[in-house]
């Protein structure tokens, strides 16, 4: 038993969904017209119940590496029952249309349901994602035959899937993959090795569908010659498809979800089926990768929140020391010490800022797919593209920091395996690495998203932030974010000019600082939205929100000025540093 932990404050979740982001307003779109707050609450209520009463009590027990025996992965014996219960929620195809077995549930609501599951137990929650992501990709780009053959069992949860991109020698440099595909009758013969494949083998389902990037013989070099193939573990009739586990990665966290080295076609008998058109594989895969990046953000938010709730409970119940100036008498709970409240407030600002960011980004995804007009959909897609690397990176980077504060608040007990914060710390660190490291996200943001379409995304973001500044009654905070917006906008223009001049190195040199700057601005915006909505909340919720908003805007938003200076100055300390000088 992992002990009591609410994972999230339900009042906080309702405030964010309905008070800040007005997800009920999405029901005015035809795609969501059948829904209401009642249907949203029903989904969230069932998910909360399962997360708290079934998944969470087994978190500690499942925090162990699966067995690798006789070339096969054996998960914890209780995983199969947990997987069946999670499937029973109907969340795998929930955001898809009724024509493929979905519920047309808004992504903004679904992502919060997923947060509860991830906060409770990452392993069982992850297998849901390993059904829906591959299923959606085949739905979007596969033929009718591939949909019948692979999408339908994935959406039913009868099979799970993977995204098999990375190779041992190439890492994130996908243009250097060497997995090959050769036409052979009605299929393609695929051969190669992939690494870090989450859920690449297990004993939960009868089959696994691997979505594999490979290069057709004679294809162009680099990323332009990559195609996408659906490769089942077993072919029709249960025939083995020459897909084997070559090894297991012994991760420090997310242990119950196996990360594997997978071999395809070692005996030249691996059958794959082309998804979509040849040489378009990376473009197709980016749909699932971008969904996964938002998924990383929500998982990071979930883990940080579970750790925050644990440290808050500990601080309220752990007696130690006395108030400053007090001699004798009973000890006080450590929450009474100012420095502990500082750490707790920082956790609160990070966790609730991250949740708001994830919901906002998910809401743009809903409008991008189902908005009333092409212009509305295009604008939402532009904002979604811009916010995706931020939504992946801020909760991951700052969520890790927040989780270290949970360890710190627990003191010496936190630095032990007898208490939970160390396990969340291990889980959390993966989020800055998988689905594209923070450095990769920063290059995507600055090199593609911010400067694309003549800066249209930055203009749209400025409009959104401008409306929040105008509406916020906390004028000190609104004006501070407004100053930050001006500084970030000017810095972006200068960097864009550097890129236009051909000096890409100078433009991209401080891309991670640029990501930090923009993330700080965006989460500052989210705190303005929360401060505004809090005016109608109960006293405790209102005061908690206002104090967290003041903390974030006063301590974090001023960093925008310094980060902008780093981005636009000629500061080149690490760029000019030579290998031999380290």
- Nearest residue to 134 (alpha-carbon basis) of 172, 94, 92: 92
Question: Given CA atoms 258, 259, 265, 266 in this order, what sign does their dihedral have?
Answer: negative
Whether residue 536 contacts residue 19, with contact meaning beta carbons closer than 8 Å, is answered with yes
How far is the C-alpha of 394 from the C-alpha of 520, rounded, in Å? 8
How far is the C-alpha of 527 from the C-alpha of 555, rounded, in Å? 13
Question: 231: which strand partners?
Answer: 210
- How many Cα neighbours within 13 Å face the side chain of 27? 13
| Alpha helical stretches, state H, 318-414 | 338-370, 374-409
DSSP letters of 48-76?
HHHIIIIIGGGHHHH-SPPEEETTEEE--
Catalytic residue among 435, 464, 474, 556: 435
- Tell me, what DSSP letter sits at residue 538? -
How far is the C-alpha of 558 from the C-alpha of 424, rounded, in Å? 30
Angle between helix 456-471 and 475-500 (nearest 10): 170
- Nearest residue to 352 (alpha-carbon basis) of 384, 399, 420: 399
Residue 435 among the catalytic residues: yes
- Tell me, what DSSP letter sits at residue 253? S
Rg (the chain; Cα; Å): 24
How far is the C-alpha of 89 from the C-alpha of 45, rounded, in Å? 11
Query: Cβ atoms within 10 A of the Cβ of 569, count?
Result: 12
How far is the C-alpha of 82 from the C-alpha of 63, rounded, in Å? 14
Cα 35 to its chain centre, rounded Å, is 25
- 347: CB partners within 8 A, 6+ apart: 304, 307, 308, 311, 312, 402, 405, 406
DSSP letters of 264-291?
E-TTS--EEEE-SSTT-HHHHHHHHHHH
- Nearest residue to 516 (alpha-carbon basis) of 477, 471, 484: 484
CA dihedral 51, 53, 59, 62 (to 10 degrees): -100
Whether residue 271 contacts residue 237, with contact meaning beta carbons closer than 8 Å, is answered with no
Question: Given CA atoms 298, 303, 306, 312 in this order, what sign does their dihedral have?
Answer: negative
Residues forming the active site:
435
């Amino acid at each position: 038993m992992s002990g009591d932990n609410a994972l999230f404050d339900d009042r906080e979740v309702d405030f964010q969904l309905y008070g800040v982001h007005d997800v009920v307003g999405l029901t005015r779109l035809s795609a969501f017209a059948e829904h209401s707050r009642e249907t949203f609450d029903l989904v969230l209520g069932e998910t909360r119940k399962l997360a708290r009463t079934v998944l969470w009590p087994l978190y500690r027990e499942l925090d162990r590496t699966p067995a690798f025996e006789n070339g096969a992965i054996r998960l914890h014996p209780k995983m199969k029952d947990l997987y069946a219960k999670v499937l029973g929620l109907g969340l795998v195809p929930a955001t898809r249309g009724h024509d493929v077995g979905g519920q047309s549930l808004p992504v903004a609501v679904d992502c919060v349901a997923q947060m509860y599951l991830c906060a409770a137990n990452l392993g069982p929650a992850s297998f849901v994602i390993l059904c829906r992501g591959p299923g959606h990709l085949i739905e979007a780009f596969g033929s009718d035959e591939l949909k019948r053959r692979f999408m339908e069992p994935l959406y039913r949860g009868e099979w799970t899937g993977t995204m098999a991109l990375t190779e041992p020698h190439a890492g994130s440099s996908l243009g250097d993959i060497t997995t090959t595909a050769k036409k052979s009758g009605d299929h393609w013969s695929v051969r190669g090795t992939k690494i870090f494949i989450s859920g690449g083998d297990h004993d939960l389902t009868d089959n696994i569908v691997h979505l594999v990037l490979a290069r057709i013989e004679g294809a162009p070099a680099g990323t332009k010659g990559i195609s996408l193939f659906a490769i089942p573990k077993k072919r029709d009739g249960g025939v083995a498809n020459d897909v084997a586990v070559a090894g297991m990665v012994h991760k420090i966290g997310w242990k119950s979800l196996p990360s594997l080295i997978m071999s395809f076609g070692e005996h030249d008998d691996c059958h794959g089926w082309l998804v979509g058109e040849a040489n378009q594989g990376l473009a197709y895969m980016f749909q699932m990768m971008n969904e996964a990046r938002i998924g990383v953000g929500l998982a990071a938010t979930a883990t940080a929140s579970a750790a925050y709730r644990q440290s808050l409970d500990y601080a309220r119940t752990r007696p130690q020391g006395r108030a400053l100036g007090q001699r004798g008498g009973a000890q006080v709970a450590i929450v009474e010490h100012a420095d502990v409240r500082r750490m707790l407030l920082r956790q609160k600002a990070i966790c609730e800022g991250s949740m708001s960011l994830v919901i906002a980004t998910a809401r743009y995804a809903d409008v991008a797919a189902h908005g009333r007009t092409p212009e509305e959909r295009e604008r939402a897609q532009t904002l979604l593209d811009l916010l995706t690397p931020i939504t992946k990176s801020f909760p991951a980077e700052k969520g890790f920091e927040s989780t270290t504060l949970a360890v710190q608040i627990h003191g010496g007990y936190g630095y032990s395996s007898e208490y939970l914060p160390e396990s969340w710390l291990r889980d959390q660190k993966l989020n800055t690495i998988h689905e594209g490291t923070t450095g990769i996200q920063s290059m995507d943001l600055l090199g593609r998203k911010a400067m694309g379409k003549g800066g249209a995304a930055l203009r749209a973001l400025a409009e959104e932030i401008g409306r929040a500044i105008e509406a916020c009654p906390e004028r000190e905070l609104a004006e501070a974010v407004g100053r930050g917006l001006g500084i970030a906008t000017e810095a972006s223009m200068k960097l864009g000019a550097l890129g236009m001049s051909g000096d890409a190195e100078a433009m991209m040199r401080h891309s991670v600082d640029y990501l930090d700057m923009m993330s700080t601005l965006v989460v500052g915006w989210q705190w303005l939205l929360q401060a505004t909505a809090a005016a109608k909340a109960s006293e405790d919720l209102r005061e908690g929100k206002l104090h967290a908003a003041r903390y974030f805007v006063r301590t974090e938003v001023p960093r925008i000025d310094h980060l902008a200076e780093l981005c636009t100055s000629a500061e080149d300390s690490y760029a000019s540093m030579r290998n031999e000088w380290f």
